[in-house]
Amino acid sequence: MPSELPAFVTFAMSVAWYFKYPLLFIGTIFEGPIVMVASGFLLHFGIFEPIPLFIVLGAGDITADILWYFLGYHYVEPLIKKRGHFLSITPELFEKGKILFQRYHEKILIISKLTLGFGMAIVILTVAGASKVPFKTYMLLNILGEVVVVSVLLIVGYFVGNIYSYISDSFKIIFLAGMFIILIAVLFGFSRYIKSIIVKK
């Protein structure tokens, strides 16, 4: 086993370190929640600084929200009218969905953000655009929810990192896998509970 890493690996690691915040921003656009928890974990070990980390994570996730909004605003409705029958979505059904969203969009958006939208986040964000929800309202609700979500997930990741420090090396991988499964189960269960409340109302 070589005593030193290959030059290209060392170079790649140094580049990743130098551009860690831009890379984090891009990663958050594509997979915000997982990146946030992982960032909290790395924060515990001094890889990131708290304030820049919080800002970059929030900016990345909000950027994704904006992209999905404008995608829905400009492209979803024409697509549904032309190809909706392939998804069993008629223009009439889509119009009913838009009316419902326009009536309850504040509740739908904030609950979706706080519960990470499990399985429906992209749909909700694009329908918000297609329903022409006022952009200022859309941004305000998402930013408010973002502060809570980023804070909670960073704390969760940091807490996991703290426990990880005390786990013996032979159990570290098992511990991380177990924590990941538990986290997904808890968030999914909370999401289902919140959605059941909304449906009852």
Question: What is the sign of the dihedral through the CA atoms of 147, 153, 155 and 161?
Answer: negative
For residue 125, the enclosing domain spans 7-163+170-200
Question: Buried b / exposed e across 17-38, counting CB within 10 Å, b at 16+?
Answer: eeebbeebbebbbeebbbbbbb
- What pLDDT digit, counting tens, does each position of 175-198 carry? 778 877 877 776 666 556 555 544
Q: With respect to residue 1, please indicate whether it lies within any of the assigned structural domains.
A: no
pLDDT of the residue at 9: 55
Q: How many domains does the chain have?
A: 1
Q: With respect to residue 146, please indicate whether it lies within any of the assigned structural domains.
A: yes
Q: With respect to residue 76, please indicate whether it lies within any of the assigned structural domains.
A: yes
DSSP helix/strand/coil, 63:
helix
Q: With respect to residue 98, please indicate whether it lies within any of the assigned structural domains.
A: yes
- What pLDDT digit, counting tens, does each position of 133-184 carry? 899 999 999 999 999 999 999 998 999 888 887 787 777 788 778 877 877 7
What is the value of pTM for the model shown? Answer: 0.77
Banded pLDDT at 124 (limits 50, 70, 90): confident
Q: Please measure the distance between the N-terminal and C-terminal CA atoms of the chain and give it in whole angstroms.
A: 63
Q: With respect to residue 131, please indicate whether it lies within any of the assigned structural domains.
A: yes
Question: Buried b / exposed e across 152-166, counting CB within 10 Å, b at 16+?
Answer: ebbebbbebbeebee
